[in-house]
Amino acid sequence: MNIVFVHGWGCHAAVWDKLVPYFGDHDVHLVDLGFVRGGPRGASVFPENALCVGHSFGVMWLLKHGTRPMRGLVSIAGFDCLHKYVPHEVLAEMREGMRHDARAQMEQFWESIGVADETAGWDIDAGGLRGGLDWIATWDTGPELKALDAPVLALAAKNDRVVRKEATQAIWGDGAAELHWHAHGGHMLQLSEPEWCAKHIRTFADALEP
């Protein structure tokens, strides 16, 4: 099976390094959204009918730009729209921080999601990151999610400080997805709990096989 992995805002494809080895028997394709330089090289062509795995903003990107048909969608700490669920001033303050001192803003963000050690040498693209924040502040891919003709798996942590439990339940609950909760994995579940994520994704993928 082809599996496409899309990272979230403020990251590059190295955030999948702990998860991808669990899928060595599949054809893996990484997407690079251009927020941070120096990560694994992104693929230039993405197959149709793939299992698409997104983290955080990467889920919204897949809903908007992912190839169709899609065999299945996996959300890890993801969302179809974030600005509905966070106070306006939170995103506004981040956008102002990016204009004033992009590196300091990113270091604060990385610290808040628990990846400060992994990101010490990351080379940011401030313009790309500001553009990504604009997307987060304006995009609503709820219609794309409703129109998606594919099964959905959502993995989330109850202590996620970016996509709060209430937002996750509103987006993925009530039958919108097969939703599984981790008690304390945080926003970067694919790094903090890769085995747990892989177990659920592989079970989901196995059910998609013809």
67-124, pLDDT tens digit by residue? 999 999 999 999 999 999 998 899 999 999 999 999 999 999 999 999 988 888 899 9
Domain boundaries, the chain: 2-208
Q: Give burial (CB, 10 Å; 0-12/13-18/19+) of 56.
A: buried
2-6, strands of its sheet edge to edge: 27-31, 2-6, 51-55, 72-76, 152-157, 178-182
Distance CA(133)–CA(95), nearest Å, equals: 7
Third-level CATH fold of 2-208: Rossmann fold (3.40.50)
Whole-number average pLDDT of the chain: 95
How sure is the predictor about 59, in pLDDT bands with cuts at 50, 70 and 90?
Answer: very high
Give the chain's end-to-end CA distance (angstroms, integer): 10
The position carrying tokens 């999610």 is 145
169-205, pLDDT tens digit by residue? 999 998 889 999 999 999 999 999 999 999 999 999 9
